[in-house]
Structure 1
Protein backbone atom coordinates (compact mmCIF):
# COMPACT_ATOMS: atom_id res chain seq x y z
CA UNK A 1 0.00 0.00 0.00
CA UNK A 2 1.41 3.40 -1.00
CA UNK A 3 1.72 5.88 1.84
CA UNK A 4 0.49 9.47 1.54
CA UNK A 5 3.68 11.53 1.59
CA UNK A 6 1.67 14.74 2.06
CA UNK A 7 -0.05 13.57 5.26
CA UNK A 8 0.27 16.29 7.95
CA UNK A 9 3.11 15.95 10.47
CA UNK A 10 3.32 17.92 13.72
CA UNK A 11 6.88 18.36 14.98
CA UNK A 12 7.95 19.48 18.45
CA UNK A 13 11.30 21.30 18.22
CA UNK A 14 13.02 21.46 21.61
CA UNK A 15 15.85 24.00 21.96
CA UNK A 16 16.76 26.70 24.46
CA UNK A 17 17.62 29.15 21.65
CA UNK A 18 14.30 30.77 20.63
CA UNK A 19 15.81 32.49 17.58
CA UNK A 20 16.97 29.16 16.19
CA UNK A 21 13.59 27.57 16.92
CA UNK A 22 11.85 30.35 15.00
CA UNK A 23 14.28 30.02 12.09
CA UNK A 24 13.87 26.25 11.83
CA UNK A 25 10.08 26.46 12.13
CA UNK A 26 9.88 29.22 9.54
CA UNK A 27 11.96 27.35 6.97
CA UNK A 28 10.32 23.96 7.47
CA UNK A 29 6.77 25.29 7.33
CA UNK A 30 7.50 27.55 4.35
CA UNK A 31 9.16 24.84 2.27
CA UNK A 32 7.02 21.89 3.32
CA UNK A 33 3.25 22.36 3.55
CA UNK A 34 2.80 19.02 5.31
CA UNK A 35 4.90 20.17 8.28
CA UNK A 36 3.66 22.04 11.34
CA UNK A 37 6.28 22.99 13.96
CA UNK A 38 5.72 23.69 17.64
CA UNK A 39 8.54 24.69 19.98
CA UNK A 40 9.57 24.13 23.58
CA UNK A 41 12.52 25.77 25.41
CA UNK A 42 13.46 22.78 27.56
CA UNK A 43 12.86 19.08 28.12
CA UNK A 44 10.45 19.52 31.01
CA UNK A 45 7.98 21.67 29.08
CA UNK A 46 8.43 19.44 26.04
CA UNK A 47 7.42 16.37 28.04
CA UNK A 48 4.26 18.16 29.16
CA UNK A 49 3.43 18.99 25.55
CA UNK A 50 4.06 15.41 24.41
CA UNK A 51 1.78 14.08 27.14
CA UNK A 52 -1.00 16.31 25.81
CA UNK A 53 -0.89 14.33 22.55
CA UNK A 54 -0.81 15.19 18.87
CA UNK A 55 2.98 15.22 18.36
CA UNK A 56 4.24 13.08 15.48
CA UNK A 57 7.98 13.69 15.86
CA UNK A 58 10.41 15.29 18.33
CA UNK A 59 13.48 17.22 17.16
CA UNK A 60 15.71 18.03 20.12
CA UNK A 61 18.96 19.83 20.85
CA UNK A 62 21.52 18.10 23.07
CA UNK A 63 22.94 20.91 25.23
CA UNK A 64 20.02 22.38 27.18
CA UNK A 65 19.47 23.56 30.77
CA UNK A 66 18.10 20.90 33.10
CA UNK A 67 17.80 17.64 31.20
CA UNK A 68 20.14 17.35 28.24
CA UNK A 69 18.99 15.83 24.96
CA UNK A 70 19.99 12.28 25.88
CA UNK A 71 18.23 12.32 29.25
CA UNK A 72 15.21 13.84 27.53
CA UNK A 73 15.30 11.05 24.94
CA UNK A 74 15.39 8.43 27.69
CA UNK A 75 12.38 10.02 29.41
CA UNK A 76 10.47 10.13 26.12
CA UNK A 77 11.28 6.48 25.41
CA UNK A 78 10.07 5.50 28.90
CA UNK A 79 6.64 7.01 28.23
CA UNK A 80 6.39 6.91 24.43
CA UNK A 81 8.61 4.12 23.10
CA UNK A 82 7.47 4.54 19.49
CA UNK A 83 7.47 8.34 19.15
CA UNK A 84 9.99 9.35 16.43
CA UNK A 85 12.90 11.30 17.93
CA UNK A 86 15.69 13.14 16.08
CA UNK A 87 18.69 14.55 17.95
CA UNK A 88 19.61 17.84 16.23
CA UNK A 89 22.65 19.23 17.96
CA UNK A 90 25.54 21.63 17.59
CA UNK A 91 27.72 19.61 19.96
CA UNK A 92 28.00 16.42 18.01
CA UNK A 93 30.49 13.68 18.74
CA UNK A 94 30.79 9.96 18.11
CA UNK A 95 30.23 9.36 21.83
CA UNK A 96 26.98 11.35 21.89
CA UNK A 97 25.78 9.69 18.69
CA UNK A 98 26.57 6.25 20.10
CA UNK A 99 24.73 6.99 23.35
CA UNK A 100 21.77 8.34 21.41
CA UNK A 101 21.55 5.17 19.32
CA UNK A 102 21.67 3.05 22.48
CA UNK A 103 18.88 5.17 24.00
CA UNK A 104 16.65 4.62 20.96
CA UNK A 105 17.09 7.72 18.80
CA UNK A 106 15.57 7.44 15.31
CA UNK A 107 18.01 9.78 13.58
CA UNK A 108 20.80 12.23 14.30
CA UNK A 109 21.81 15.49 12.62
CA UNK A 110 24.61 17.95 13.38
CA UNK A 111 23.68 21.62 13.17
CA UNK A 112 25.32 23.51 10.30
CA UNK A 113 25.30 27.13 9.18
CA UNK A 114 23.90 26.56 5.69
CA UNK A 115 20.17 26.29 4.96
CA UNK A 116 20.54 22.98 3.11
CA UNK A 117 20.55 21.30 6.52
CA UNK A 118 16.85 22.12 6.88
CA UNK A 119 16.08 20.11 3.76
CA UNK A 120 18.02 17.21 5.25
CA UNK A 121 16.13 17.63 8.52
CA UNK A 122 12.77 17.68 6.73
CA UNK A 123 13.68 14.46 4.91
CA UNK A 124 14.70 12.83 8.18
CA UNK A 125 11.41 13.87 9.77
CA UNK A 126 9.42 12.49 6.86
CA UNK A 127 11.34 9.20 6.88
CA UNK A 128 11.10 8.48 10.61
CA UNK A 129 7.40 9.42 10.76
CA UNK A 130 6.52 7.32 7.70
CA UNK A 131 8.41 4.38 9.17
CA UNK A 132 6.58 4.69 12.49
CA UNK A 133 3.20 5.05 10.80
CA UNK A 134 3.87 2.01 8.63
CA UNK A 135 4.84 -0.02 11.70
CA UNK A 136 1.70 1.12 13.53
CA UNK A 137 -0.47 0.19 10.55
CA UNK A 138 1.15 -3.24 10.35
CA UNK A 139 0.63 -3.80 14.07
CA UNK A 140 -3.02 -2.78 13.75
CA UNK A 141 -3.45 -5.19 10.84
CA UNK A 142 -1.92 -7.98 12.92
CA UNK A 143 -4.30 -7.23 15.78
CA UNK A 144 -7.26 -7.33 13.42
CA UNK A 145 -6.07 -10.63 12.00
CA UNK A 146 -5.65 -12.15 15.46
CA UNK A 147 -9.10 -10.94 16.51
CA UNK A 148 -10.53 -12.66 13.45
CA UNK A 149 -8.77 -16.02 13.54
CA UNK A 150 -7.60 -16.64 17.12
CA UNK A 151 -10.91 -18.13 18.19
CA UNK A 152 -11.85 -19.73 14.87
CA UNK A 153 -12.81 -23.41 15.30
CA UNK A 154 -10.89 -24.21 12.10
CA UNK A 155 -7.11 -24.84 12.36
CA UNK A 156 -5.18 -21.98 10.74
CA UNK A 157 -1.40 -21.87 10.35
CA UNK A 158 0.91 -19.26 8.81
CA UNK A 159 4.28 -20.26 7.32
CA UNK A 160 7.07 -17.92 6.26
CA UNK A 161 9.15 -18.25 3.09
CA UNK A 162 11.37 -20.82 4.83
CA UNK A 163 8.31 -22.97 5.60
CA UNK A 164 8.55 -22.21 9.33
CA UNK A 165 5.41 -21.67 11.43
CA UNK A 166 5.08 -18.00 12.40
CA UNK A 167 1.53 -18.19 13.75
CA UNK A 168 -0.98 -20.84 14.78
CA UNK A 169 -4.47 -20.27 16.17
CA UNK A 170 -5.86 -22.23 19.12
CA UNK A 171 -7.56 -24.77 16.87
CA UNK A 172 -4.26 -25.43 15.07
CA UNK A 173 -2.45 -25.92 18.38
CA UNK A 174 -4.99 -28.59 19.31
CA UNK A 175 -4.95 -30.07 15.80
CA UNK A 176 -1.18 -30.59 15.96
CA UNK A 177 -1.31 -32.03 19.50
CA UNK A 178 0.83 -29.22 20.91
CA UNK A 179 0.64 -28.36 24.60
CA UNK A 180 0.76 -24.63 23.85
CA UNK A 181 1.29 -22.26 20.95
CA UNK A 182 4.97 -21.54 21.58
CA UNK A 183 5.78 -25.24 21.20
CA UNK A 184 5.13 -24.75 17.48
CA UNK A 185 7.70 -21.96 17.12
CA UNK A 186 10.29 -22.88 14.50
CA UNK A 187 8.42 -26.06 13.48
CA UNK A 188 8.72 -26.51 9.71
CA UNK A 189 5.94 -27.48 7.34
CA UNK A 190 7.71 -30.58 5.86
CA UNK A 191 7.96 -32.07 9.36
CA UNK A 192 4.17 -31.99 9.67
CA UNK A 193 3.33 -33.72 6.40
CA UNK A 194 3.42 -37.50 6.13
CA UNK A 195 6.10 -38.97 3.87
CA UNK A 196 3.70 -39.87 1.07
CA UNK A 197 2.57 -36.23 0.67
CA UNK A 198 5.73 -34.28 1.61
CA UNK A 199 7.07 -33.69 -1.90
CA UNK A 200 3.66 -32.57 -3.15
CA UNK A 201 3.30 -30.21 -0.20
CA UNK A 202 6.69 -28.61 -0.91
CA UNK A 203 5.83 -28.15 -4.59
CA UNK A 204 2.56 -26.43 -3.67
CA UNK A 205 4.43 -24.23 -1.21
CA UNK A 206 6.93 -23.11 -3.86
CA UNK A 207 4.16 -22.47 -6.37
CA UNK A 208 2.27 -20.26 -3.93
CA UNK A 209 5.26 -18.02 -3.23
CA UNK A 210 6.31 -17.86 -6.87
CA UNK A 211 2.86 -16.92 -8.18
CA UNK A 212 1.40 -15.21 -5.09
CA UNK A 213 -1.82 -17.09 -5.84
CA UNK A 214 -3.84 -19.68 -3.93
CA UNK A 215 -3.28 -23.32 -4.74
CA UNK A 216 -6.18 -25.81 -5.07
CA UNK A 217 -7.45 -27.66 -2.03
CA UNK A 218 -5.95 -31.08 -1.49
CA UNK A 219 -6.22 -33.87 1.07
CA UNK A 220 -3.04 -34.53 3.07
CA UNK A 221 -1.99 -36.89 5.82
CA UNK A 222 -0.66 -34.71 8.64
CA UNK A 223 1.75 -36.04 11.28
CA UNK A 224 1.21 -34.29 14.63
CA UNK A 225 3.72 -33.61 17.40
CA UNK A 226 2.39 -36.72 19.18
CA UNK A 227 3.16 -38.73 16.01
CA UNK A 228 -0.51 -39.26 15.26
CA UNK A 229 -1.69 -39.23 11.65
CA UNK A 230 -4.65 -36.99 10.82
CA UNK A 231 -6.27 -36.66 7.44
CA UNK A 232 -7.37 -33.14 6.46
CA UNK A 233 -8.38 -31.15 3.42
CA UNK A 234 -5.86 -28.31 3.21
CA UNK A 235 -6.55 -24.92 1.63
CA UNK A 236 -3.52 -22.66 1.10
CA UNK A 237 -3.52 -18.97 0.18
CA UNK A 238 -0.93 -16.17 0.12
CA UNK A 239 -1.05 -13.49 2.78
CA UNK A 240 0.96 -10.95 4.75
CA UNK A 241 1.87 -11.17 8.42
CA UNK A 242 3.94 -8.55 10.25
CA UNK A 243 4.86 -7.06 6.93
CA UNK A 244 6.21 -10.31 5.48
CA UNK A 245 4.69 -12.66 2.87
CA UNK A 246 3.28 -15.88 4.31
CA UNK A 247 1.40 -18.97 3.26
CA UNK A 248 -1.91 -19.26 5.11
CA UNK A 249 -2.95 -22.86 5.59
CA UNK A 250 -6.45 -23.85 6.68
CA UNK A 251 -7.18 -27.47 7.63
CA UNK A 252 -10.75 -28.65 7.05
CA UNK A 253 -12.64 -31.90 7.59
CA UNK A 254 -10.05 -33.27 9.99
CA UNK A 255 -10.10 -37.00 10.77
CA UNK A 256 -7.74 -39.07 12.93
CA UNK A 257 -6.65 -42.14 10.98
CA UNK A 258 -3.73 -43.47 13.06
CA UNK A 259 -2.99 -43.07 16.76
CA UNK A 260 0.55 -43.09 18.05
Structure 2
Protein backbone atom coordinates (compact mmCIF):
# COMPACT_ATOMS: atom_id res chain seq x y z
CA UNK A 1 0.00 0.00 0.00
CA UNK A 2 1.25 3.49 -0.84
CA UNK A 3 1.76 5.40 2.43
CA UNK A 4 3.06 8.83 3.29
CA UNK A 5 6.61 8.98 4.59
CA UNK A 6 5.29 11.33 7.29
CA UNK A 7 3.51 10.51 10.50
CA UNK A 8 -0.04 11.81 10.14
CA UNK A 9 -2.68 13.45 8.00
CA UNK A 10 -5.78 14.93 9.65
CA UNK A 11 -8.87 14.64 7.45
CA UNK A 12 -12.24 16.32 8.00
CA UNK A 13 -15.27 14.37 6.75
CA UNK A 14 -18.57 16.25 6.57
CA UNK A 15 -21.77 14.23 6.16
CA UNK A 16 -25.18 14.75 7.75
CA UNK A 17 -25.54 11.02 8.51
CA UNK A 18 -23.49 10.34 11.67
CA UNK A 19 -23.54 6.60 11.10
CA UNK A 20 -22.07 6.90 7.64
CA UNK A 21 -19.49 9.38 8.93
CA UNK A 22 -18.31 6.82 11.48
CA UNK A 23 -18.06 4.15 8.78
CA UNK A 24 -15.99 6.41 6.53
CA UNK A 25 -13.67 7.34 9.40
CA UNK A 26 -13.21 3.69 10.36
CA UNK A 27 -12.42 2.54 6.82
CA UNK A 28 -10.08 5.45 6.04
CA UNK A 29 -8.09 4.94 9.23
CA UNK A 30 -7.95 1.23 8.42
CA UNK A 31 -6.74 1.97 4.87
CA UNK A 32 -3.88 4.16 6.10
CA UNK A 33 -2.60 4.40 9.67
CA UNK A 34 -1.43 7.94 8.85
CA UNK A 35 -5.05 9.12 8.63
CA UNK A 36 -6.83 10.68 11.58
CA UNK A 37 -10.43 11.53 10.65
CA UNK A 38 -12.57 14.24 12.24
CA UNK A 39 -16.30 14.19 11.51
CA UNK A 40 -18.91 16.93 11.11
CA UNK A 41 -22.64 16.66 10.40
CA UNK A 42 -23.22 20.15 9.01
CA UNK A 43 -21.44 23.03 7.31
CA UNK A 44 -21.29 24.97 10.59
CA UNK A 45 -19.75 21.97 12.38
CA UNK A 46 -17.20 21.60 9.60
CA UNK A 47 -16.20 25.27 9.80
CA UNK A 48 -15.76 24.97 13.56
CA UNK A 49 -13.41 22.00 13.12
CA UNK A 50 -11.43 23.88 10.46
CA UNK A 51 -10.98 26.84 12.80
CA UNK A 52 -9.79 24.71 15.69
CA UNK A 53 -7.70 21.98 14.09
CA UNK A 54 -4.98 21.65 11.50
CA UNK A 55 -6.89 19.93 8.69
CA UNK A 56 -5.05 18.86 5.53
CA UNK A 57 -8.00 17.57 3.49
CA UNK A 58 -11.77 18.03 3.54
CA UNK A 59 -14.09 15.29 2.33
CA UNK A 60 -17.71 16.41 2.06
CA UNK A 61 -21.10 15.08 1.08
CA UNK A 62 -23.25 17.23 -1.21
CA UNK A 63 -26.68 17.05 0.49
CA UNK A 64 -26.62 18.38 4.06
CA UNK A 65 -29.11 20.40 6.15
CA UNK A 66 -29.28 24.17 5.73
CA UNK A 67 -26.26 24.42 3.44
CA UNK A 68 -24.86 21.84 1.04
CA UNK A 69 -21.37 20.63 0.19
CA UNK A 70 -20.91 23.18 -2.59
CA UNK A 71 -21.61 25.99 -0.14
CA UNK A 72 -19.06 24.48 2.24
CA UNK A 73 -16.57 24.31 -0.63
CA UNK A 74 -17.07 27.99 -1.44
CA UNK A 75 -16.63 28.97 2.22
CA UNK A 76 -13.49 26.85 2.51
CA UNK A 77 -12.02 28.39 -0.64
CA UNK A 78 -12.56 31.89 0.81
CA UNK A 79 -10.30 31.17 3.80
CA UNK A 80 -8.25 28.16 2.71
CA UNK A 81 -7.70 28.52 -1.06
CA UNK A 82 -5.16 25.67 -1.30
CA UNK A 83 -6.75 23.14 1.08
CA UNK A 84 -7.60 19.88 -0.73
CA UNK A 85 -11.38 19.42 -0.92
CA UNK A 86 -12.98 16.21 -2.19
CA UNK A 87 -16.72 16.10 -2.88
CA UNK A 88 -17.79 12.55 -1.92
CA UNK A 89 -21.45 12.40 -2.71
CA UNK A 90 -24.31 10.02 -3.38
CA UNK A 91 -26.03 12.65 -5.50
CA UNK A 92 -24.12 12.70 -8.74
CA UNK A 93 -24.91 14.82 -11.75
CA UNK A 94 -23.03 16.70 -14.44
CA UNK A 95 -24.44 19.96 -13.07
CA UNK A 96 -23.12 19.36 -9.55
CA UNK A 97 -19.75 18.21 -10.89
CA UNK A 98 -19.53 21.30 -13.09
CA UNK A 99 -20.38 23.62 -10.20
CA UNK A 100 -17.84 21.87 -7.97
CA UNK A 101 -15.10 22.27 -10.57
CA UNK A 102 -15.97 25.93 -11.01
CA UNK A 103 -15.78 26.44 -7.23
CA UNK A 104 -12.30 24.92 -7.09
CA UNK A 105 -12.92 21.35 -5.92
CA UNK A 106 -9.80 19.19 -5.82
CA UNK A 107 -11.56 15.94 -6.66
CA UNK A 108 -15.08 14.58 -7.19
CA UNK A 109 -16.05 11.05 -6.19
CA UNK A 110 -19.48 9.42 -6.22
CA UNK A 111 -20.37 7.07 -3.38
CA UNK A 112 -20.59 3.42 -4.30
CA UNK A 113 -22.04 0.32 -2.73
CA UNK A 114 -18.91 -1.61 -1.74
CA UNK A 115 -15.89 -1.14 0.47
CA UNK A 116 -13.70 -0.53 -2.59
CA UNK A 117 -14.92 3.07 -2.59
CA UNK A 118 -12.97 3.71 0.62
CA UNK A 119 -9.75 2.47 -0.96
CA UNK A 120 -10.34 4.83 -3.87
CA UNK A 121 -11.16 7.69 -1.50
CA UNK A 122 -8.01 7.02 0.56
CA UNK A 123 -5.90 7.14 -2.61
CA UNK A 124 -7.53 10.40 -3.70
CA UNK A 125 -6.81 11.93 -0.28
CA UNK A 126 -3.18 10.78 -0.35
CA UNK A 127 -2.63 12.16 -3.83
CA UNK A 128 -4.26 15.49 -3.03
CA UNK A 129 -2.33 16.04 0.19
CA UNK A 130 0.96 14.92 -1.35
CA UNK A 131 0.50 17.35 -4.23
CA UNK A 132 -0.35 20.24 -1.91
CA UNK A 133 2.61 19.52 0.36
CA UNK A 134 4.95 19.38 -2.63
CA UNK A 135 3.66 22.72 -3.93
CA UNK A 136 4.04 24.24 -0.47
CA UNK A 137 7.61 22.96 -0.22
CA UNK A 138 8.46 24.47 -3.62
CA UNK A 139 6.96 27.79 -2.54
CA UNK A 140 8.93 27.77 0.72
CA UNK A 141 12.14 27.04 -1.18
CA UNK A 142 11.42 29.84 -3.64
CA UNK A 143 10.64 32.28 -0.82
CA UNK A 144 13.91 31.43 0.92
CA UNK A 145 15.79 31.92 -2.34
CA UNK A 146 14.27 35.36 -2.84
CA UNK A 147 14.97 36.34 0.76
CA UNK A 148 18.64 35.52 0.25
CA UNK A 149 19.16 36.78 -3.27
CA UNK A 150 16.81 39.69 -4.02
CA UNK A 151 18.94 42.29 -2.26
CA UNK A 152 22.33 40.55 -2.53
CA UNK A 153 25.09 42.96 -3.64
CA UNK A 154 26.26 40.57 -6.38
CA UNK A 155 24.31 40.57 -9.67
CA UNK A 156 22.58 37.19 -10.03
CA UNK A 157 20.47 35.96 -12.96
CA UNK A 158 18.65 32.68 -13.60
CA UNK A 159 18.23 31.20 -17.07
CA UNK A 160 16.04 28.27 -18.11
CA UNK A 161 16.93 25.42 -20.48
CA UNK A 162 16.17 27.66 -23.45
CA UNK A 163 18.73 30.18 -22.15
CA UNK A 164 15.95 32.67 -21.40
CA UNK A 165 16.04 34.94 -18.34
CA UNK A 166 13.70 33.75 -15.56
CA UNK A 167 14.86 36.02 -12.77
CA UNK A 168 17.32 38.79 -11.97
CA UNK A 169 17.96 40.37 -8.59
CA UNK A 170 18.11 44.12 -8.01
CA UNK A 171 21.88 44.24 -8.49
CA UNK A 172 21.63 42.43 -11.83
CA UNK A 173 18.87 44.72 -13.08
CA UNK A 174 21.02 47.73 -12.21
CA UNK A 175 24.16 46.18 -13.76
CA UNK A 176 22.30 45.65 -17.04
CA UNK A 177 21.07 49.27 -16.95
CA UNK A 178 17.43 48.12 -16.92
CA UNK A 179 14.61 49.83 -15.05
CA UNK A 180 13.10 46.53 -13.85
CA UNK A 181 13.29 42.79 -14.48
CA UNK A 182 10.28 43.08 -16.80
CA UNK A 183 12.58 44.84 -19.26
CA UNK A 184 14.85 41.79 -19.57
CA UNK A 185 12.47 38.90 -18.80
CA UNK A 186 12.61 36.23 -21.50
CA UNK A 187 15.71 37.68 -23.16
CA UNK A 188 18.36 35.14 -24.14
CA UNK A 189 21.63 35.04 -22.23
CA UNK A 190 23.36 35.56 -25.56
CA UNK A 191 21.61 38.94 -25.89
CA UNK A 192 23.77 40.15 -23.00
CA UNK A 193 27.08 38.93 -24.46
CA UNK A 194 29.42 40.32 -27.11
CA UNK A 195 28.79 38.50 -30.43
CA UNK A 196 32.34 37.10 -30.47
CA UNK A 197 31.72 35.27 -27.18
CA UNK A 198 28.24 33.85 -27.73
CA UNK A 199 29.15 30.46 -29.29
CA UNK A 200 31.63 29.58 -26.55
CA UNK A 201 29.18 30.69 -23.87
CA UNK A 202 26.43 28.56 -25.41
CA UNK A 203 28.65 25.48 -25.26
CA UNK A 204 29.43 26.16 -21.60
CA UNK A 205 25.74 26.54 -20.86
CA UNK A 206 24.87 23.26 -22.56
CA UNK A 207 27.67 21.54 -20.65
CA UNK A 208 26.27 22.85 -17.37
CA UNK A 209 22.72 21.67 -18.10
CA UNK A 210 23.90 18.32 -19.49
CA UNK A 211 26.31 17.46 -16.67
CA UNK A 212 24.45 19.27 -13.87
CA UNK A 213 27.78 20.69 -12.73
CA UNK A 214 29.29 24.14 -12.37
CA UNK A 215 31.63 25.42 -15.07
CA UNK A 216 34.74 27.50 -14.33
CA UNK A 217 34.22 31.26 -14.11
CA UNK A 218 35.15 33.22 -17.21
CA UNK A 219 35.55 36.82 -18.28
CA UNK A 220 32.96 38.20 -20.68
CA UNK A 221 32.05 41.43 -22.36
CA UNK A 222 28.49 42.07 -21.22
CA UNK A 223 26.16 44.21 -23.32
CA UNK A 224 23.56 46.09 -21.27
CA UNK A 225 20.09 47.09 -22.45
CA UNK A 226 21.50 50.54 -23.26
CA UNK A 227 24.20 48.88 -25.45
CA UNK A 228 26.98 49.74 -23.03
CA UNK A 229 29.76 47.15 -22.86
CA UNK A 230 30.92 46.11 -19.38
CA UNK A 231 33.69 43.63 -18.67
CA UNK A 232 32.81 41.09 -15.98
CA UNK A 233 33.77 37.70 -14.62
CA UNK A 234 30.78 35.35 -14.62
CA UNK A 235 30.47 32.18 -12.55
CA UNK A 236 27.75 29.75 -13.61
CA UNK A 237 26.25 26.93 -11.54
CA UNK A 238 23.21 24.63 -11.86
CA UNK A 239 20.20 25.07 -9.62
CA UNK A 240 16.44 24.64 -9.39
CA UNK A 241 13.79 27.34 -9.51
CA UNK A 242 10.02 26.80 -9.48
CA UNK A 243 10.62 23.09 -9.94
CA UNK A 244 12.80 23.27 -13.03
CA UNK A 245 16.52 23.07 -13.63
CA UNK A 246 18.15 26.44 -14.23
CA UNK A 247 21.56 28.01 -14.69
CA UNK A 248 22.55 30.56 -12.07
CA UNK A 249 24.87 33.27 -13.35
CA UNK A 250 26.76 35.34 -10.75
CA UNK A 251 28.50 38.44 -12.00
CA UNK A 252 31.74 39.71 -10.48
CA UNK A 253 33.06 43.04 -11.71
C-alpha deviation, 1:6, in angstroms = 4.2
Deviations 1:172-193 (A, max 9, x none): 0101111012222222212111
* CA 172–27 in structure 1, closer or farther in 2 if over 3 Å, else same: same
Q: 1:50, 1:177 → 2: CA distance? A: 50
Number of the residue aligned with 1:222: 222
Number of the residue aligned with 2:191: 191
Number of the residue aligned with 1:97: 97
C-alpha deviation, 1:60, in angstroms = 0.6
Is 2:223 the partner of 1:240? no
Conserved in 1, the CA contact under 8 Å of 2:10 and 2:56? yes
Q: Map 1:5-154 to 2 at 5 A.
A: 5-154=5-154
C-alpha deviation, 1:155, in angstroms = 0.2
Of residues 175-184 and 116-125 in structure 1, the stretch that sits farther from structure 2 once superposed is 175-184
Deviations 1:16-74 (A, max 9, x none): 01111000001111231000000011112211211223101000111112221112111
Q: 1:193, 1:45 → 2: CA distance? A: 62
Is 2:219 the partner of 1:200? no
Number of the residue aligned with 2:179: 179
Q: 1:188, 1:62 → 2: CA distance? A: 51
Deviations 1:197-240 (A, max 9, x none): 11111111111111111111111111111111111111111101
| SS of residue matched to 1:216 | strand
Task: Note the residue ranges of structure 1 that are not aligned, 5 or more in a row.
Answer: 254-260
Q: 2:211, 2:40 → 1: CA distance? A: 52
Q: 2:192, 2:116 → 1: CA distance? A: 58
TM-score (norm 2): 0.96
Conserved in 1, the CA contact under 8 Å of 2:175 and 2:224? yes
Q: 2:170, 2:63 → 1: CA distance? A: 52
TM-score (norm 1): 0.93
Conserved in 1, the CA contact under 8 Å of 2:212 and 2:238? yes
Number of the residue aligned with 2:212: 212
Task: Note the residue ranges of structure 2 that are not aligned, 5 or more in a row.
Answer: none
Q: 2:174, 2:243 → 1: CA distance? A: 27
CA RMSD of aligned residues (A): 1.3
C-alpha deviation, 1:4, in angstroms = 4.7
Conserved in 1, the CA contact under 8 Å of 2:221 and 2:232? yes
Conserved in 1, the CA contact under 8 Å of 2:4 and 2:126? no
Q: 1:4, 1:252 → 2: CA distance? A: 44
| SS of residue matched to 1:104 | coil
Conserved in 1, the CA contact under 8 Å of 2:204 and 2:215? yes
Q: 1:226, 1:52 → 2: CA distance? A: 56
Deviations 1:66-91 (A, max 9, x none): 22111211111110111111111111
* CA 144–6 in structure 1, closer or farther in 2 if over 3 Å, else same: closer
